[in-house]
Amino acid sequence: MPIQRQHTVAFTGHRTYAGEAQALLCQLIRRLAEEGYTTFLSGMAAGFDLAAAEAVVALRNEGLAIQLVAVIPFASQSASFSGADRARFRQIVAEADEVILLADKYERGCYQRRNDFLVDHAAALVAWYNGTRGGTQYTFLRAMKRGLALHNLSPTIQPDPRLFE
């Protein structure tokens, strides 16, 4: 299935996400679907990525006309997850409308390539970004620089505007 960027949303967020904004996330996904977004990309990391993917699957199963694409940076990504997160990962992969595997094995830079893929194939980004450094910050800033519509659900902090200079 070719991804139509103008109808696609990507997710990025911290591994420490523990469901704090799940109701708000579901509301936002519904609103984005009403605005014409039909494809949702998850990078499948533990935390926010898995929670967002589960929300898409649940809403799709309720009849919302949306699809989930699991973007996996390398084949054994879930090997370091907790047992519960590995089970969630497997379930989401089984229920995804499409799975894109970017590399057969771990390679240096594979997470950044995954994050680049998410931003390059989406018109909007839904984030759980609290202002700390790391992959979520990289993805959020890249999306901002590329002009994606940004939706940050984290109430903790809004990013320092100097980061975008």
Q: Domains of the chain, with CATH numbers?
A: 5-156 (3.40.50.450)
The average pLDDT across 56-71 equals 98
Q: For residue range 78-100, list pLDDT tens digits in order.
A: 999 999 999 999 999 999 999 99
Beta bridge partners of 59: none
Q: For residue range 135-150, list pLDDT tens digits in order.
A: 999 999 999 999 999 9
CB 95 within 8 A of CB 69: no
How many Å apart are CA 149 and CA 55, to the nearest integer? 20
Structure pTM?
0.93
Residue 15 DSSP class: T
How many Å apart are CA 142 and CA 121, to the nearest integer? 12
Going by C-alpha positions, the residue among 1, 69, 60, 3 that lies closest to residue 29 is 60
